[in-house]
A = this chain, B = another copy of it.
């Protein structure tokens, strides 16, 4: 049986589309079994509908109810892995524990530097010479879970936060699918906080 991933998004869903394309191209062996959004008009959700993927708007006006419905969809659809792709809500500790070790997120910085919002602008303004992106398991904190994969992006003297964000996004589109593959292949162990991959 194929490996099934659910995607949660709030915006344009560019990482969702990159995952979708990597599946089409045979780079990632998985099915997208649900695209769930807390915003009914999120461009990523509309795109998922256009593509004929199982698409769900879930209201988070009441967070507990929103999470409950999200969990129900995920379980009904038989997702093996939940991938946050620009999902702009913090999931409760309850939700995270329910899907422990089954939720991935991507963050546009080299964590633990620059967690939270506007990570690319934070990095730019701090004056780091390298930034990047991080795929990590989601735990109860914000951008704090064990790291699966990172990529490096150089910051140039003549950069802008926007240009830097675009270059980071291109790396996100690559490493998220690679990280999903690593996790779905289930060939890893977690020692302390270190995610280590066994050679196949």
Show the binding face of A for B, using Cβ within 8 Å.
110-114, 124-130, 132, 146-147, 149-150, 152, 157, 192-197
Contacts and interface: CB of A to CB of B under 8 A. Distances in A.
A110 B110 contact: yes
Given A113-B113, A157-B194, 20 more contacts: A110-B110, A110-B130, A111-B113, A111-B128, A112-B113, A112-B128, A124-B194, A125-B193, A126-B147, A126-B193, A127-B146, A127-B147, A127-B192, A127-B193, A128-B147, A129-B149, A129-B150, A130-B132, A130-B150, A157-B197
A150 B132 CA distance: 14
Contacts of A129: 147, 149-150
Contacts of A114: 112
Nearest to A128: B147
Q: How many copies does the complex hold?
A: 2
B125 A150 contact: no
Nearest to A123: B112
Contacts of A150: 128-130
A174 to B, nearest CB: 14
A195 B157 CA distance: 8
Contact of A196 (B125, B126, B149, B157): B157
A46 B110 CA distance: 39
14 contacts: A110-B110, A110-B113, A110-B128, A111-B128, A124-B194, A125-B192, A125-B193, A127-B146, A127-B147, A128-B150, A129-B147, A129-B149, A129-B150, A130-B150
A124 B126 CA distance: 23
A150 B129 CA distance: 6
A130 B129 CA distance: 14
A152 to B, nearest CB: 6
